[in-house]
Every structure is written in C-alpha cells, then in structure tokens.
Amino acid sequence: MKIGVLTDNFHCPLKEALGKASKLGFSGVQIYATQGEFEPSLLKNKPALDAYLRLFKDLGLVVSALCGDMGGHGFEIRKDNEERIVKTRAIIDLAAACGTGVVTTHIGVIPEDENSGQFKVMLEALDTLGLYGKKQGVTLAIETGPEKPEILEKFISQTHGGVGVNLDPANFVMVTGVDPARAVDILGRYIVHTHVKDGIMKQQTDPARVYGIFADGGIEDFRMGDYFIETPVGEGAVNFDSYLKALKKSGYDGFFTIEREAGKEREKDIAQAASFIRKKLAECGY
C-alpha cells in the first residue's frame, strides 16, 4: 500500500513533520514547494537538497508528490502566467531531483465552453508545462475541485502529455456534488495521485463562486460551514468502498495521500485516517 500524508497538515517545521510521518508509518509525503522550507530557490545548493534526500532515506520515506499550488486564480489570467510557468518549471525540476513523478496544483476554474478565451489561456499554459514535465518524467496533476469530471477530461484530452489528475474525492462531494466513483470512471487513465479526504455538502452553490472567493482571499467573508464541511475521514459523504473499488478497477497503483485541512486535532485525525484507509485498501485488494 502506498499511503502518504501532506506534511503541511502537521503545522510544524518540515523536518519535524517528516519525523511525525515516519513514526505514523507513512511511506510517502507530499510537500508544498511554492513557499516555505522546500521552495526550489532554497534548494539550488546541492548539499542542501542532498541533506533532505538523506533524511527521506533515513526515515523510510519517499516524496509522493510536490504541491505546486500558487493560489489565486491559477492559470486563468494570461498576464500572470509567464511568472507562474517559470515558478512551476522550477518545481518540476525539483520534483525530478527528488525522484517523484508528480507535481499537484489547482489551476483555476475551467470553463465549460472550450471556445472561451479563458479555456484557451489555461490550456496553453498547462500544455506548455505538461510538455516540459513530460521530458523529465514528471506529470503536472490537476487537483479536482470546481469542475465536473467531464469538463476536466475534455480539457486534459486537448493537452499533449505530461498533464494528469490528482483526485480529491472530498472536493467532488463537498463542492460539485459528484460521486467520486463516477469521477474515477471518467478520469481514470489520467489519475496519478490521490488525496484521502472526506466531507459533507450542506447546501449546493456555484463551485466557481467558491473557488473564486478562495482565489480572491475573501474567505473570511464566506461562511464555508453554510455550504460544506470537511470531516475526519470516514465521517463524511465519500463512499470509500465504491471509490476505492473504482480506482482498483481503473488500474491505479499510486499514492493515497491523507490531507486534513480543518479540525482542531489534525494529528489525531491523520492517524485515524491512516488506520481507516489501510483497512479499506486491504478490503479492496491493494
């Protein structure tokens, strides 16, 4: 079983988080590389990166993925994309140096109309980055979120390689109301990384509105609890039995990386999520 954890969710310095991940029996870690201790500019010095690579080995960990999410509106705005592409390329380079083949990111809201200007701007940026990553054996994995799986599949199918999916089942359940198992049926061939997360939708709203508020930094004015709640894994609306069976049927053999962004006892929730997902994966034959 390839079970990992997002190190930022421990809310402590990276080296301490790596130690916690190892003690909890994880085999992989997903690390934010857009800021903080693992930002590419801080690791240009080979000895600095080598020290981390030795630490990963000593702790029995591999990097399941780097997170290249820069926030804001992703790759929706052409004038912002030149700088974002440069930064993402640096993260792809770092991923290759760490031996991981995945960089995850939110890219913004993909319009349903593929003839819209925004669709074309986003496609151009992702196609450029996908081809860059492909040369290094790295896939830029779009995290599921604001769009339905059919739209995301249509978007990725128009790229020329190196673009895939980081499937977060809770984002579908909480925001779009899509059954994660159905999403796997549609996106299966593109899935290269997954999050283990759970949640509940309380009230249907426009997914683009939700992600637009996140992007504009107005989250304090948006009462998320009125619309959706992230729950401990196993306590929300994600049907992990059908979801994991769909992944198994699709041939997915990558990491199941626990993400816990909410809650007051995150370390406890992460440990419980690890026990839950190990049991479920065993039942599915992983």
Dihedral of CA 273/279/284/286: which sign?
positive
Q: Which residue has the higher pLDDT, 218 or 3?
A: 3
- Specify the pLDDT at position 146: 85
Is the pLDDT score of 51 beyond 80? yes
pTM flag (> 0.85): yes
Q: Span 230-239, mean pLDDT?
A: 97
- Specify the pLDDT at position 121: 97
Q: Where are the domains of the chain?
A: 3-283
- Specify the pLDDT at position 220: 47
Closest CA to 240 of 190, 275, 198, 271: 198
Q: pLDDT tens across 265-285, in order?
A: 999 999 999 999 999 999 999
- Give me the architecture of the 3-283 domain, per CATH: Alpha-Beta Barrel (3.20)
Q: pLDDT tens across 179-217, in order?
A: 999 999 999 999 999 999 999 998 777 767 666 666 666
